[in-house]
Amino acid sequence: MPSIRAPASKQTATLQVAVKCRPLTDDEQRRSRHIIQVIDDKTVVVLDPDLSKDYLDLIQNRTKERRYTFDHVYPPGCSNSDVYKNISSTISGVVQGLNATVFAYGSTGSGKTYTMVGTHSDPGLMVLSFRTIFELIKKDGGPDTFEVSCSYLEVYNEVIYDLLEKSSGHLELREDPQHGIIVAGLRSIKVHSADRILELLNIGNSRRKTESTEANATSSRSHAVLEITVKRKQKGQYGNQVLRGKLALVDLAGSERASETNNFGQKLRDGANINRSLLALANCINALGKQNKKGLAYVPYRNSKLTRILKDGLSGNSQTVMVATISPADDQYHHTTNTLKYADRAKEIKTHVHKNIGTLDTHVEDYQRMIDSLQVEVSQLKKELAEKEHQLSVKPTEKAADSELSWLNVLSQETGENVQERINLQKALFELEETNKRNRLELQHLDDAIARHQVKEMDSTVLQALTSRRQVILDNIRDNDEAGSGYRKVLIFFYSLWFSCLQVTLRSFSLRTLK
């Protein structure tokens, strides 16, 4: 496993906010009025939905009209490709070891899922993003090697499920000291093409919870997060450097009012949970906006699993894009202004971006080279000690010579033992590397076999056996990684001990020469 080093420098980035307005539907054109006016590519005006004004409103110039300015504003009729043009540079950074987050925010029926997933004729931001990643990898003509993997989860009623597992159980969030918030047990599949991710995306979407409501014919009842990880291995003088970029693509469920959806029973409870998690997200956006304006403010990430998952994207190491989707219908005025209000506050949010740089375990050839160099080092040390023994043996005082020779013998023995221990540790690390290389190859074959069985829905007994074997391999990899980490710590200790002995030896010889 790569070991992550501390970043050399951090850059502060402002959360990028775009607003996308969908067209009126045929039904809305018959019963609603268009209240969204796009002034230019950065300014949007929400017109007053009330045409009739009483005397006081006219005299005091009261109006519900609102004007907002954002990084990008897209009028009705724009395509997902138009939106993607302005965020493609953020996606490109993933191949260079940067993190990125893209999420759509808005009320139910405002076009979030269409923006993120899209259709065959108008692909969404998810599809366009992973196509860009593979195009950049294909264009790269250098010696670097790339490894791409993806995972897909949903948060439904504050419970996390794996959308790439046919019958996923409840998954739990964990705090990892190196990688931050992770989902324990979430399946990550290695992929080699954009078509493979699209296939997995379609599988996951078919398992996602959706229902028909009066506000939306196919309302998403869960929040979905597609995460793509790109590892870029760069060969250097002392092993391999790894750049690890992560792209989180989030399709949120939409906030809704029970009076508009006419939900009851389970749908009503689902809507309440959706609104609760979105309220937690809105509270985090509010707190982060105040934090950057007025100083420290408590950010309630722990109020929802959704906000914990999005923590890096909102305030951590990530270049983040928020696409606020709105409806132009006058009966959606309150939803539209609420969405734009939170989007306007999100403009104040700052993130701290840096490259994720790590070092990969040394390859087999490097281990062999290190062992050879250590053996040469042993021979040179023995030769030097033999010369010093010969010089000391010709001293006139026999007692002093015996003392010097005894001291040199002890030092020679300790140095030899130290070097031998280092050789043994290097060999042990070499064997662990070989074993884990075979384990990871088998794990990749198992993942592919499990994915094929899930697509074809074959015998559950075979699938269970494959899944059990996969867990055994994962446990072996984890145990080997822990053992390798221990070996490296001991190896560093022996190197420092050897270096200290060498310094003492040189100092002692200098003092004896002066005498």
Binding site members for ATP: 106-113
Q: What's the one-letter identity of residue 278?
A: L
Largest pairwise CA distance in the chain: 121
Q: Which residues are annotated as a binding site?
A: 106-113
The answer to whether 428 and 486 have CB atoms below 8 angstroms apart is no
User: What is the Cα 171 distance to its own chain's centre?
Assistant: 17
Return all residues near 458 (Cβ < 8 A) that are at least 6 apart: none
**What are the C-alpha distances in Å from 508 to residues 381, 501, 503, 512, 514?**
16, 10, 9, 6, 10
Tokens representing 404 are 């010097």
Candidates 281, 290, 357, 294; CA nearest to 320 is: 281
- Integer Cα distance of 258 and 278 in angstroms: 15
Alpha helices in 112-236 (DSSP H): 112-116, 125-139, 194-207
Per the CB < 8 A criterion, the answer to whether 425 and 491 are in contact is: yes
What is the rounded CA–CA span in Å between residue 86 and residue 89?
Answer: 7
Output the CA torsion 390→391→395→400 (10° steps). Answer: -80
Sequence-ordered list of residues with C-beta below 8 angstroms from that of 421, at least 6 positions apart, any chain: 494
